[in-house]
Structure 1
């Protein structure tokens, strides 16, 4: 029998191993605490960070008390789990399911798998997606990088007549643009929705993420033309002439990300609102961080 298509050597924790490792909330809480505070609990309240912490035997109102700022806290404090009444194992299982599904996990599936309401599953999944957004500073890519944009939105032929009547054009019109920059050296991707695909927006995405002088590979979109004058070594492939690879010049890496992302759109989510699109981008199978900007149109 021949090998199954695609990769069959992925490593990770099975569901059986998950439940063996986390048989109850106590084990899950212990794991989260050790991951957050490997050297012992520290006060997570803003402006404190003290290690002078005492355990509260009754665990009321919370299991830890900071002797410096005199505030109580738990492993949930100032995390996506903040003020949540869900068990720690439910949170960990939700994270596990979302991380291990390449094409994403819908809130409806989480609702069924976790035994929570759909509303709870929806908020739970979006909190986790938001946690994947890297709001901290990062090192600029040294290059070479691949840059490409894609458009997210439903097909007109699948829309109800009253929805089609609201459309104003073809192609990417009425859809939301997402631009991504992939660093070949690290395979890291920085991506996010943008308001348009004009030259200032697309070249701005490169300037925000990539060191000046780096090699940048794109398609022949004219909006990328100013990159050379901005100090980048710019090379492009002409997709319109059916040129997809010219030596090292191609955008196949970032386009592979778009391909997987759209499979999730079509097969898992079916619709992504502009308001939350940046969170769905963060859930893509390749680590995507640092939302570039959020589109201003509704």
Structure 2
């Protein structure tokens, strides 16, 4: 069986890291000084350059102060793991591709997802924004004690309770906000109420933005919060409406509903995600969606987010 790691060069991985991290030349990770000296190589990773800052006198290397530092796996393994995550392979598939135990693969992917989540800045949406919510089944996978406390055994496999879900019912709602032609924001909620959606909307949507939603009454206070609000009534069979008479049906939530279709497909290979880890998966999907790149084109953005 061909080991894909043999096809990746550690030297090129470190060259890429240096180019992304210090495009204008190496700088001290402690004081940002450009006055540094090279101080040999790491004995366990020969391609990993070590440095000493002339100004503050401290030592560092290519991976210092990043989540990729301090691990026994070579850099090429981390880069390949990140690449496979961008292709949306499950943890088990990644472990098989890299020749890793499934637990090691899971720890690596979790650390990388946490890194992407921590480095993402909250986008500011404006112009025309669509809002909607979706419900996914998410229990306490991998935490048997929490399962015992939360519920009795589920007879209908992964099917959740009917109706609008909550975190307590193991069917957490996800609020989605998307700027038409722009970025998306996804957040898991305990439940869908005005008091839970208001802080998210105020934090990431500019005042005066035009909102498009369905008829759900949690959006009724958008005008009071400083937004223009237009809605379609799905219960009456209305899915798009031309409000200004120009022949273009601008009042709809089709864009965010398209995101829900993509999100369901994205979550499916992972065969059930616990509600403890669901926010990480949502954050990673959000990053991929907003990067507007796929495959090899996505890898530089993912790697830069972790090391810059």
Secondary structure of the residue that 2:132 maps to in structure 1? strand
CA distance, structure 2, for counterparts of residue 241 and residue 154 of structure 1: 31
Q: Which segments of 5 or more consecutive residues in structure 1 lack a partner in the other structure?
A: 1-17, 156-160, 289-298
Structure 1 runs, 4 residues or longer, greater than 4 Å off: 134-139, 165-169
CA distance, structure 2, for counterparts of residue 58 and residue 97 of structure 1: 29
Corresponding residue of 1:78 = 65
CA distance, structure 1, for counterparts of residue 174 and residue 114 of structure 2: 17
Corresponding residue of 1:112 = 96
Structure 1 position 139, deviation (Å): 5.5
Matches within 5 A, 1:232-247: 232-246=227-241, 247=249
CA distance, structure 1, for counterparts of residue 238 and residue 226 of structure 2: 25
Root mean square deviation, CA, Å? 2.9
Aligned length: 259
Corresponding residue of 2:258 = 256
1:142 to 119, 126, 130: 126
Structure 1 position 32, deviation (Å): 1.0
CA distance, structure 1, for counterparts of residue 136 and residue 161 of structure 2: 15
CA distance, structure 2, for counterparts of residue 210 and residue 134 of structure 1: 20
Corresponding residue of 2:302 = none
1:38 to 23, 35, 39: 23
Q: Which segments of 5 or more consecutive residues in structure 2 lack a partner in the other structure?
A: 140-150, 242-248, 292-308
1:216 to 211, 217, 230: 211
Corresponding residue of 1:170 = 162
1:162-210 Cα offsets, whole Å, 9 max, x none, are: 4238999533141112112111132x11112122210122233221111
- Specify which structure has the bigger relative contact order, considering alpha-carbon pairs within 8 angstroms and separated by 6 or more residues: 2
The answer to which of 32-41 and 65-74 deviates more is 65-74
Corresponding residue of 1:5 = none
Q: Residue 18 of structure 2 contacts residue 26 of structure 2 at CA under 8 Å; is this kept in 1? A: yes
CA distance, structure 2, for counterparts of residue 269 and residue 219 of structure 1: 30
CA distance, structure 2, for counterparts of residue 136 and residue 280 of structure 1: 13
Task: Tell me the TM-score normalised to structure 1 length.
Answer: 0.77
Q: Residue 27 of structure 2 contacts residue 33 of structure 2 at CA under 8 Å; is this kept in 1? A: yes
CA distance, structure 1, for counterparts of residue 114 and residue 278 of structure 2: 11
Q: Residue 64 of structure 1 contacts residue 73 of structure 1 at CA under 8 Å; is this kept in 2? A: yes
In 2 relative to 1, CA 163–19 (structure 1 residues): closer, same or farther, beyond 3 Å? Answer: closer
In 2 relative to 1, CA 72–60 (structure 1 residues): closer, same or farther, beyond 3 Å? Answer: farther
Q: Residue 216 of structure 1 contacts residue 235 of structure 1 at CA under 8 Å; is this kept in 2? A: yes
Structure 1 position 114, deviation (Å): 0.9
CA distance, structure 1, for counterparts of residue 70 and residue 50 of structure 2: 14
